[in-house]
Structure 1
Amino acid sequence: FTASDYAWLDMKTNGLDLIIGPIENYEDKLFNARTSYEAYVLIKDKEWSKRLAKYVKLLPDLQKNLPVAAKYKTETPGTDSELNAYDVVYYAGDCNAGSKTIAVNLPNDEKIQQEKGTRRSQLKNAMQAKFDKILVPISKELIDAEQQKYIKFDAFFANVMFHEVAHGLGIKKTITGKGFVRAALKEQYSWLEEGKADVLGLYMVTALLKKGELQGDIKEYYTTFMAGILRSVRFGISEAHGKANMQCFNYFKEKGAFERTAKGTYKVNFDKFATAMNDLSAFIITLQGNGDKNAVEKAQKTMAIIPTELQSDLDRLTRKNIPVDVVFEQGVDVLGMK
């Protein structure tokens, strides 16, 4: 599959894209090593993709300014990477089982990532569906009434997009001689890497807004991120993204980045949000760079848990019949080919 990964990255002008093969290792709870087969059929949105292309060139500068000790940010992210937007027309296998993917950053092979970069694919129509059917209804129920005006699709799109881009930032090889972070952390790798992408994605949004490379109000991005945590954690904490979300929720809560009001809604404290984001970024990258599996296990046990109060709030969403995820109508039936 290595040769096909290189060849896939070399395809730049195609309007139709196909992702197929044994790709993600989330299902392997033992060593995070065995991958599952999946396939996507994607149609490239060339206009949106053009708008996104500039961000990849900014990666080396963002890497240099990461809020962590210098020894953890000496690697240079590949700038041959692509950032594209697509409409997805078909899901099969692992990506269609359980939660539906809305963005992918591939290939996963660290050697290819360092030599050639990655392609970050944003699945725009799937994002829009989750925003309209799930994120907005959740926000109306659980986000402070005064802050609901900050829930925006463009902020949701950017938060998800920069989550994927952020997988390319930080550290791939330990500084303690334990090899690649993925190999050193084994089954603890995936959830911590997803947590890194969550907070570094937000760090990128914050930095790009300050540079004038991104438009909008930081309050929109932070409030939509908060609503995004409440959306994603409903998938449960047995899965990597759920654990990552709960680490972020509990860490941000501890730092006063948000508060739960007497009305049972969540209100973002914008100044403290940025501080918590930087602190958690440093915490995660340090754990990864040290390759300290025991410390990561401890972090998971203490932080990747759903507090009782939050669970009762999530139960309110279920009673309101707000779906956990979208289900796709696809295939020969929809195409009228049966």
Structure 2
Amino acid sequence: MKITTLAIALLFATSTISGCTDAPTTTENVKPTLIPEYKDRLDIYQTIELTADLSHLTKEQKQMLGLLIEASDIMDELFWKQAYGDNKEAFLASITDEKVRKFTTINYGPWDRLDGDKTFLTGYAPKQPGAQFYPTDMTKAELEASNLEDKKGLYSLIKRNEQGELTSIAYSEAYSEELNRAAVILEKASTLAKDKEFANYLKMRAQALRTDEYQASDFAWMDMKNNPIDVVIGPIETYEDQLFGYRTAFESYVLVKDLSWSEKLAKYAAFLPELQKGLPVHKKYKTETPGSDADLNAYDVIYYAGHSNAGSKTIAINLPNDETVQLEKGTRRLQLKNAMRAKYDAILVPIAQELIVPEQRKNVTFNAFFANTMFHEVAHGLGIKNTINDKGTVRQALKEHASALEEGKADILGLYMIRQLLEKGAIEEGVLADYYTTFLAGIFRSVRFGASSAHGKANMVRFNYFAKHKAFDRNEEGLYSVNMEKMSEAIDSLSALILELQGNGDYQGVDNLVNDSGFIGETLTQDLNKLSLANIPVDITFEQGKKTLGL
């Protein structure tokens, strides 16, 4: 038995007036059950044990890792509140089937993140585009017309006061107990850090959690170069806010640096200013100079929490997002090598066997997969952060479409960069066909995440654009092959289109592009079904934590 539409509406209305962030739930005597058509989706994630070699770390460094995992668990608690609501424990306890409960935990709620956020449990309403960041009865027009100074805030929730008027509350106030606990743990971890820059970053990040002032800690993180341990923690990405793309979600990654791989990557950052000048677009869209202090490093990730752990797993990080920090310092690009390798072995290679023509399968390589992912992150630093016509930052002007277009830009400019660096001899491994063919196989991998997320929309826009411009062919057996010359032409023309949309702050133009191309067509749906029939996992999930690591 499901809650009626009226009951759900009443639950929404009650939570809105009270300011509670509880998602609508089933009645006390009714247990949520799996909607039958989702039975075959419970195994779309392959479980991987998330480990790394920690033998080179000192006793103090291992203690520090334990503390960072504890702080990360608090970020996980907070993301549950932002994505679902306050009653996580009761919600999960109400699910009697263990496999369904695990699937629910992976999705941080009753909505399938890799199937357009569709509801997979009985008794739950569709997911709100604004998650729990906004009142459920609030329209976009209402917030836009309000006089709230903080309506575009990165670190606040929008609520209704007793009079029903929109108001905002800072994260540091709404989540004060949790954030103070996390801050104390980070400060304790800082006392174990021998590296002064890392100790300073941890202390400043702790202060940021208490004050919602993150820029100073972002600068400190940019200056932290040599420590073998790292943590990315706090409210960071805006993808969960699909209503406006304004508000950040809590997450964490605990990382151990791979020194040998990092050394190989260090040389590429120096090419950024030169590559910016050579972008295939009018010079007015490339007047900004990317920070030259950016660095590239490879890490083994040993813990994911919050937004980073929801649904599909991130395999590379490009931060900070603060435009001021980016222009002054650049960004740090962190490649999560062990997670990347797990996806390559379990997913990408089997996909190539099913969908790439036999003669091009040899061009699907881990080195190309690693490089495509890395240069995607590097490419976030190229292009433009502020509109050229006084519409503010690109993120503000494009609202909920900003993330999808930025991901599309990074994908396409990453390929542009690889082609340029191969021609310069800066990349010495492989040939261009490796990178293009691996990228095509990677589209099929990413498209299976669905078209609702920022990455999903970007994937579909790019796939449909490539198809229209004959960048690849599909034969009668449903196998794909790259057309090298036309692929390069499509990369250049799509790069120019995206950079112009961003620079102009053209919200309507991006809206048209997403509506026209951000969908999965019938032929592609048939091809993706082949992957399901072959039992190829859609993504991975982790056994992780102190016990797994032997800490």
Give TM class, smaller chain: over 0.9
* 2:95 alignment partner in structure 1: none
TM-superposed deviation, 1:104: 0.6
Structure 1 distance, partners of 2:479, 2:275, is 34
User: Does residue 1:53 correspond to 2:266, yes or no?
Assistant: yes
Structure 1 distance, partners of 2:549, 2:477, is 47
User: Does residue 1:282 correspond to 2:496, yes or no?
Assistant: yes
* 1:33 alignment partner in structure 2: 246
Correspondence list, 1:216-227, <5 A? 216-227=430-441
| Structure 2: stretches of 5+ with no match in the other structure | 1-213
* 1:171 alignment partner in structure 2: 384
* 2:11 alignment partner in structure 1: none
For residues 230-282 of structure 1, the C-alpha deviation after alignment (integer angstroms, 9 at most, x for no partner) is 00010000000011011111001111100111111111111110000000000
1:239 to 426, 447, 453: 453
User: Does residue 1:199 correspond to 2:412, yes or no?
Assistant: yes
TM-superposed deviation, 1:80: 0.5
Structure 2 distance, partners of 1:5, 1:210, is 34
Q: Give the partner amino acid of 2:280.
A: P
Structure 2 distance, partners of 1:10, 1:61, is 23
* 1:296 alignment partner in structure 2: 510
1:254 to 468, 475, 499: 468
Aligned-residue CA RMSD (Å): 0.9
1:97 to 298, 302, 310: 310
| SS of 1:113 mapped into structure 2 | helix
Correspondence list, 1:66-85, <5 A? 66-85=279-298
Correspondence list, 1:10-159, <5 A? 10-159=223-372
Structure 2 distance, partners of 1:46, 1:147, is 33
For residues 166-190 of structure 1, the C-alpha deviation after alignment (integer angstroms, 9 at most, x for no partner) is 0000111111111111111111100
Structure 1 distance, partners of 2:236, 2:393, is 18
Structure 2 distance, partners of 1:84, 1:308, is 40
Structure 2 distance, partners of 1:148, 1:113, is 38
Structure 1 distance, partners of 2:275, 2:220, is 28
For residues 43-77 of structure 1, the C-alpha deviation after alignment (integer angstroms, 9 at most, x for no partner) is 11111111111111100100000000111111100
Structure 2 distance, partners of 1:71, 1:24, is 28
For residues 179-218 of structure 1, the C-alpha deviation after alignment (integer angstroms, 9 at most, x for no partner) is 1111111111000000000000000000000000002210
Structure 1 distance, partners of 2:550, 2:445, is 33
Structure 2 distance, partners of 1:172, 1:7, is 21
Distance 1:333 1:252, change over 3 A: same
TM-superposed deviation, 1:336: 5.2
| Dislocated runs of 4+, deviation >4 Å | none
Structure 2 distance, partners of 1:263, 1:170, is 39
User: Does residue 1:331 correspond to 2:545, yes or no?
Assistant: yes
* 2:485 alignment partner in structure 1: 271
Distance 1:43 1:336, change over 3 A: closer
Structure 2 distance, partners of 1:164, 1:253, is 24
| SS of 1:235 mapped into structure 2 | coil
TM-superposed deviation, 1:333: 3.9
Q: Give the structure with higher Rg (CA).
A: 2
TM-superposed deviation, 1:335: 3.6
Q: Give the partner amino acid of 1:4.
A: S
User: Does residue 1:316 correspond to 2:530, yes or no?
Assistant: yes
Structure 2 distance, partners of 1:333, 1:56, is 37
TM-score computed with the length of structure 2 as normaliser: 0.61
Structure 1 distance, partners of 2:277, 2:445, is 32
For residues 277-317 of structure 1, the C-alpha deviation after alignment (integer angstroms, 9 at most, x for no partner) is 00000000000000010110000000111111001110111
| SS of 1:328 mapped into structure 2 | strand
| Structure 1: stretches of 5+ with no match in the other structure | none
Structure 2 distance, partners of 1:184, 1:93, is 27
For residues 121-144 of structure 1, the C-alpha deviation after alignment (integer angstroms, 9 at most, x for no partner) is 000011100000000000000011
